[in-house]
Amino acid sequence: MKPVIALVGRPNVGKSTLFNRLTRSRDALVADLPGLTRDRHYGEGRIGERPFLVIDTGGFEPVAKDGIMHEMAKQTKQAVAEADVVVFIVDGRQGLTPHDKTITDFLRKSGRPVMLVVNKAEGMKYTTVTADFYELGLGDPYVISAAHGDGVMDLVNEALDAAFAQRPAEEAAPDPATRGIKLAIVGRPNVGKSTLVNTLLGEERVIAFDMPGTTRDSIEIPFERDGKHYTLVDTAGIRRRGKVFEAIEKFSVVKTLQSISEANVVLLLLDAQQDISEQDAHIAGFILESGRALVVGVNKWDGLDNDRRNQIKMDMERKLNFLFFAKFHFISALNNSGIGPLMKSVDAAYAAAMAKLSTPRLTRALIEAVEHQQPRRKGSIRPKLRYAHQGGQNPPVVVIHGNALEAIDDNYKRYLEKHFRETFSLVGTPLRIELRSGK
Ligand code: GDP
Ligand code: GDP
């Protein structure tokens, strides 16, 4: 599982600047999709080959009330509890403040490893900028400039080392053999996740039910359905009790992100008896950014009248239109209805995500697309698209080579995506287009 780094500190020390630097979105297209709400407090980062999750605890307001720390936002407490390592940021230009001490006390009680980081240190001497902060008793501070990037790589590498040192037991635990499609079932509390898992596992052969759980409650349940193998991975928000799975009341963004990143296909469950909420849209946004294949189950379809059915369909079209690439299924986990077709779409989404697209086929499709519609000129520059090859799977990445490709706008990129999607029948998976200009 990806290590989790929480960024903590009082307002204005540079948390979100660091967060943005660590999670800089790889895909500008994602940012433009209408309807997509982003939770800017959670993101994925990567340093070399090391992926991680990062949480910006932006809500941390240690405002003193009668000298006592104000009740910290629940989210922030949860974030610290779920983090493997806490990066505690202080402001090197401002020096030590009483709030920094309050936060230190809280972090000490949390029992998490803490790295003290002095930000805004560009152009300053280590000894000068750190002198104040030894008083916190957190050891030698790290020194960075989040704005300029100085020291950030080293900091993250150290944080990841600390995170891995934290969980030797888990690393050593034998991984149950995952087979077939790795499937995560996600959704906000009460949409029917555990009901669906019980329905799926109840009627089908569970190959090895008793998997040793790790310290972090991760779940891996291989099962077989219609002769096909699947493994349920680390499904957030449910827990095993005896032979059945039960819902966990608390919603955890971190667990949801972990589940998504471990899966090949994500099954997003929605509740047809409720309107689409912010939380649904956030989770959908995480899935989109992760690039995982996706199938949407609109659950509790039983017992709804036609008016309600139309209403929820319109609500989804309005709020989740950025999931245009996914199949929506109207199901009842409770009555075991619609589950067969749903799982067929899981298979199809997986096949699309793993599709192998040869260079000649991709190039032919590219030429077709360009013949049908040329990219626009930008001034006197006309982009020239020459050939395409596949740059990755799950999600498929199509890398297009040519000249002056930086002049290609998002609309044209979307047109290309649509063309590749249709040509290769890619349903249920995001598709990324990368443009590479030769010099
Ligand atoms: P947050 O409230 O902790 O999330 O802080 P922000 O990331 O919003 O940063 C607060 C202010 O500090 C902004 O004006 C940033 O531009 C500035 N800032 C952040 N990092 C640095 C840095 O490394 N050096 C300098 N000089 N300013 C910084
Ligand atoms: P979770 O929190 O997402 O795991 O949700 P649960 O599986 O615990 O379900 C929450 C509630 O919704 C329970 O009372 C279920 O019985 C009910 N529920 C789940 N699926 C369905 C369904 O398909 N139809 C109806 N009517 N109720 C359902």
Q: Which of 17, 91, 103 to mutate to test the pocket of ligand 1 (most atoms within 8 A of CB)?
A: 17
C-alpha to C-alpha distances, 212 to 173, 198, 205, 254, nearest whole angstrom: 8, 19, 19, 21
pLDDT, position 202: 79
Give the number of other Cβ atoms within 10 Å of residue 292's Cβ.
Answer: 25
Annotated binding site for GTP: 9-16, 56-60, 119-122, 187-194, 234-238, 299-302
User: What residues of the chain score a pLDDT lower than 70?
Assistant: 25-40, 58-75, 167-178, 203-218, 242-243, 439
Residue 328's pLDDT is 97
Beta partners for residue 142, in sequence order: 117
Q: Note the pLDDT of residue 396.
A: 95
pLDDT of residue 43: 83
Q: Is the CB of 195 under 6 A from ligand 2?
A: yes
- Enter the pTM of the model: 0.81
- Which of 334, 335, 336 to probe ligand 2 with, by most ligand atoms within 8 A of CB? 334
